[in-house]
Amino acid sequence: MLGFLKPGAPKPMVPKEQIMSVYHSKRFWALAGVFLGYAAFYIVRNNFALSTPYLQSVLELSKTQIGFLTSSMLIAYGISKGVMSSISDKCSPKKFMVFGLIMCALMNLLMGFADSLTMFLILIVLNGFFQGFGVGPSFITIAKWYPKSARGTIGAIWNISHNIGGGIIAPIVAAAFFFLSQDHWRLASYAVPAVIAIVIALIIYQMIKESPELEGLPTTSEITGEQNDKNDTTEQAKAAANLSAGQIFYRYVFKNKNAWFVSLVDTFVYLIRFGILTWIPIYLLQVKGFSKAEMAIAFLFFEWAAIPSTLFAGYISDKLFKGYRMPPAIISLIIIIFCIFGYWQSTTLTAVTIFAAIIGCLIYIPQFLASVQTMEIVPPFAVGSAVGLRGFMSYIVGASGGTSLYGIIVDKVGWDGGFYLLFAGAILCIIFALLAHRGAKQLKAEMEAAKQAN
């Protein structure tokens, strides 16, 4: 069914004297391609949250219905992310990502013509499904082109792509409203982001590369002389070539307790993230009394504040914490608990924006560090499957909790109940981060014991 997404034939081997220069050039463009591509997925995802105040007014929807629409997209995304990330292990990263991005853009174009709750529900579920084509190729590309010693920093660089994409959509939509007026809110909210995404899809098709082996190079481990972990062996990679995606998932992910710990960390990170992100427009407009311009500023700060902190956390997890990813995540989560309280209780534009920015600054740290640790607890050929489990759990349980469950609680008991849900999510996240850290230490001890035995 997905035969047209399969990798092409291997390229001729690069001459030995050119290997290093070609390797560094291609891995730069590979990273740049998945960075730009993943940012574009968020341009045609976060635009929906910005459209909810208009959608709520035009279709006369309750907060429960808005939460249901949002969670429907996220549930579809979670299922797709779980399945499609596993399938992407066997596909061309660039074909897979470009196809998904173009289909997301098409769904957004069609949303510009939707005039009922049912039509929006169908299109937003389809958009969520095609959103699942973005993350697998990104992690696979990083795992195949970069050694473990660089993945904290490289993962941080890639991770800010969705902050850029998720944050830049606010000024994009604001500019579209300025030129098109609020009467054309559908064009401004859906069509303009869709056109931008299509242009980016055409660009990244030329940028993203296949694996080093298919680009005529040795493996990254052979080039750098660094074995990524005890699972990263040529023998395992050859054996995996004869396994189906389902067999890889069951053997290397489903039976791996550390994959579950990391997935549960991400699950509760997503509950907090979407509990804030999804409801910023409505909460700030209706409860805090902000204008639409003030709300857009807070929305942008929530996304973009994460950029410097994510880069810093990736660097210190590589250097200061010697490859352990969870200590900076745990520190961030403790601070987030206090900032949620400040965001909840503050009444001024400045205070609310500052607390939203700090939460945005920190919430992406455990999310991105969990993604880096995901690449390190399975062999490179199972990265897509591990990402799939993490994505499935984070969206089906976490994101739906921050959208549908949050909306139901707010409708039933008020906004205070929604914030109690966020506090509970933060505590559970810390517990599973501690378990994930213990698992990482055990894996490192096993790897060192295996080296000594050899």
Give me the pLDDT at residue 316, please: 79
Helix (H/G/I), strand (E/B), else coil: 91? coil
Q: What is the chain's Cα-based Rg?
A: 21
What CA–CA distance (Å, rounded) separates 116 from 122?
10
Q: Tell me the percentage of the chain whose pLDDT exceeds 90.
A: 25
Instruction: Measure Cα distances from 392 to 81, 83, 223, 326, 365 in Å.
Output: 6, 8, 34, 21, 19
Could you tell me if residue 290 is left (phi over 0), alpha (psi between -120 and 50 degrees) or otherwise beta? Answer: beta
Between these two residues, 295 and 416, which has the higher pLDDT value?
Answer: 416
- Count the neighbouring beta carbons within 10 Å of the beta carbon of residue 184: 15
Give me the pLDDT at residue 238, please: 60
Q: Is the pLDDT of residue 42 over 70?
A: yes
CB 198 within 8 Å of CB 105: yes
| Pair of tokens at residue 323 | 């490859």
| Pair of tokens at residue 40 | 């574009």
What CA–CA distance (Å, rounded) separates 37 from 16?
31
Could you tell me if residue 8 is left (phi over 0), alpha (psi between -120 and 50 degrees) or otherwise beta? Answer: beta
Between these two residues, 170 and 38, which has the higher pLDDT value?
Answer: 38
Q: Is the pLDDT of residue 48 over 90?
A: no
Burial of 454 (0-12, 13-18, 19+ CB in 10 A): exposed
Nearest to 372 by CA among 97, 91, 158: 158
Q: Is the pTM of this model over 0.75?
A: no
Q: Under 8 Å CB-to-CB from 454, ≥6 apart: which residues?
A: none
210-235 pLDDT per residue, tens: 888 888 888 888 887 765 554 555 55
Which residue do the tokens 């730009």 mark? Answer: 36
What CA–CA distance (Å, rounded) separates 189 from 75?
22
Between these two residues, 377 and 123, which has the higher pLDDT value?
Answer: 123
What CA–CA distance (Å, rounded) separates 339 from 359?
6
Confidence of residue 160 (pLDDT cuts 50, 70, 90): confident
Q: Give the number of C-alpha atoms closer than 13 A to the C-alpha of residue 151, restricted to the C-beta side.
A: 31
Give me the pLDDT at residue 433, please: 93
H helical segments located in 146-256: 148-180, 185-186, 192-207, 220-224, 234-240, 245-249
236-281 pLDDT per residue, tens: 556 556 677 677 788 888 888 888 999 999 999 999 988 887 777 7
Compute the CA torsion angle 380, 385, 390, 392 (nearest 10 deg): 160
| Pair of tokens at residue 257 | 């307790």
Q: Is the pLDDT of residue 2 over 70?
A: no
397-445 pLDDT per residue, tens: 888 888 888 888 988 888 889 899 999 999 999 999 999 888 888 877 7
Mean pLDDT of the chain: 83
Which residue do the tokens 């591990």 mark? Answer: 386
- Count the neighbouring beta carbons within 10 Å of the beta carbon of residue 89: 23
Give me the pLDDT at residue 124, please: 92
Measured in residues, the chain has a length of 454
Least confident span in 47-61, 107-121, 221-235, 292-306: 221-235
Give me the pLDDT at residue 303, please: 63
What CA–CA distance (Å, rounded) separates 331 from 337?
11
Give me the pLDDT at residue 130, please: 95
Burial of 434 (0-12, 13-18, 19+ CB in 10 A): middle
What CA–CA distance (Å, rounded) separates 195 from 158?
23
What's the average model confidence in pLDDT over 373-381?
A: 78
**3-state SS record for 99-116:** HHHHHHHHHHHHHCCCCC
Give me the pLDDT at residue 123, please: 94
What CA–CA distance (Å, rounded) separates 140 from 24?
17
What CA–CA distance (Å, rounded) separates 171 from 177?
10
Give me the pLDDT at residue 109, please: 94
| Pair of tokens at residue 287 | 């409860």
Confidence of residue 43 (pLDDT cuts 50, 70, 90): very high
| Pair of tokens at residue 88 | 């992407």
**3-state SS record for 23-66:** HHHHHHHHHHHHHHHHHHHHHCCCHHHHHHHHHHHHHCCCHHHH
- Count the neighbouring beta carbons within 10 Å of the beta carbon of residue 318: 22
CB 402 within 8 Å of CB 424: no
